[in-house]
């Protein structure tokens, strides 16, 4: 009898954990070294190893352990209002100033980051900030269905809305909301020569079927011509530690 009670409680707890997308994401303890100043709106990611890619995805690093130096990365995707303060002719709906900036080419994204003393993140930096130091598939660790309502079409949200979907370093918007420009070219083993150097990597958005919307795993690599600008594509900045 006790055994069945235990099993019942276990099942109830498991189901409630799996279904509760609002549970808090466990955060890694990070100590910022003396002499390093973390600007407002950025997160310090310490130097060290992490697992990059997935063994079943041949266009990734297959789950290899990669080292990064310490770096800073924006906690949120770049907002429309913030970007418009840099590029005053950027046209957007004023009621959506805290939504992610969209319709931005790679060059425009890079220009913004450089103007603020930063740069676009590398793929390794982006993936580490998204997954931390374990081999999790989702920044928030557990799998959830995206809570779309069957509506087919991109639904951007305010960049600071989803505190239940943050990464273990407290970074928002990695795996949902807009895709983000990455500094690296899109390259992979066996790639056709004509394709090499033609595309930039974009990371962390949604994929869609007819009437469903899905999160993308932390290691999922998408690609885009650098001159493209689309309403599902934005960016965030990173910065090296001097």
Partner 1 sequence: MKFDRRSFLKAFSTLGLALLPGKSHAIPDYRNDKNFPKEYVQNRDRPGFFIRSANPFLGVEIDNWGLVVGGKVEKPLAFGYEDLFGFKMHSQTSRLKCVECWSAKAKWEGFQFADLVERVKPHPSAKYVNLKSADSYYESFLLEELLRPRVLFVLQMNGSPLSKDHGYPLRLIAPFKYGYKNIKYITQIEFTDSRSRNYWANHGPYSVDGTIQPGIDHPLDYRKKPLPINGGEVFHPFDKRPDEG
Which among 4-12, 41-49, 164-172, 229-237 is the span making contact with partner 1, rule CB under 8 A? 229-237
Residues 6+ apart with CB under 8 A from 11: none
The yes or no reply on residue 178 touching partner 1 (CB under 8 A) is no
Site map 130..169 versus partner 1, x via CB under 8 A: --------------------xxxxxx--------------
Helix (H) or strand (E) holding 224: strand 222-224
The yes or no reply on residue 91 touching partner 1 (CB under 8 A) is yes
Number of residues that bind partner 1 (CB under 8 A): 27
| Contact assessment for residue 221 and residue 60, using Cβ atoms and an 8 Å cutoff | yes
- How far is residue 223's CA from residue 38's CA, in Å, rounded to a whole number? 30
The yes or no reply on residue 188 touching partner 1 (CB under 8 A) is no
**Residue 209 Cβ, how far from partner 1 at the closest point, in Å?**
6
**3-state secondary structure (DSSP) of residue 214:** strand
> Which residue among 83, 99, 172, 179 contacts partner 1 (CB under 8 A)?
179
For 109, phi and psi rounded to 5 degrees? -65, -45
The yes or no reply on residue 205 touching partner 1 (CB under 8 A) is yes
Residues 6+ apart with CB under 8 A from 98: 79, 80, 81, 158, 159, 160
The yes or no reply on residue 233 touching partner 1 (CB under 8 A) is yes
The yes or no reply on residue 197 touching partner 1 (CB under 8 A) is no
């Amino acid at each position: 009898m006790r055994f069945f009670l235990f099993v019942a409680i276990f099942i109830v707890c498991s189901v409630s954990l799996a279904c509760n997308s609002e549970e808090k994401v466990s955060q890694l303890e990070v100590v910022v070294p003396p002499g390093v100043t973390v600007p407002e709106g950025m997160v310090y990611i310490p130097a060290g190893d992490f697992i990059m890619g997935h063994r079943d995805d041949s266009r990734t690093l297959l789950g290899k352990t990669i080292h990064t130096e310490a770096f800073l990365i924006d906690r949120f995707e770049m907002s429309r209002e913030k970007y418009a303060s840099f590029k005053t002719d950027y046209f957007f709906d004023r009621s959506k100033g805290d939504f992610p900036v969209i319709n931005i080419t790679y060059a425009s994204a890079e220009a913004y980051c450089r103007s603020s003393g930063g740069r676009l993140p590398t793929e390794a930096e982006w993936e580490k900030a998204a997954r931390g130091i374990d081999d999790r598939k989702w920044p928030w660790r557990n799998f959830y269905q995206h809570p779309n309502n069957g509506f087919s079409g991109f639904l951007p949200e305010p960049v600071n809305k989803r505190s239940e979907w943050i990464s273990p370093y407290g970074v928002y918007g990695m795996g949902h909301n807009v895709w983000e420009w990455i500094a690296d070219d899109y390259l992979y083993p066996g790639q056709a020569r004509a394709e090499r150097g033609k595309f930039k990597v974009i990371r962390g958005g949604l994929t869609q079927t007819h009437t469903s919307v899905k999160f993308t795993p932390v290691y999922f690599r998408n690609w885009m011509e650098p001159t493209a600008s689309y309403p599902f594509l934005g960016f965030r900045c990173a910065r090296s530690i001097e």
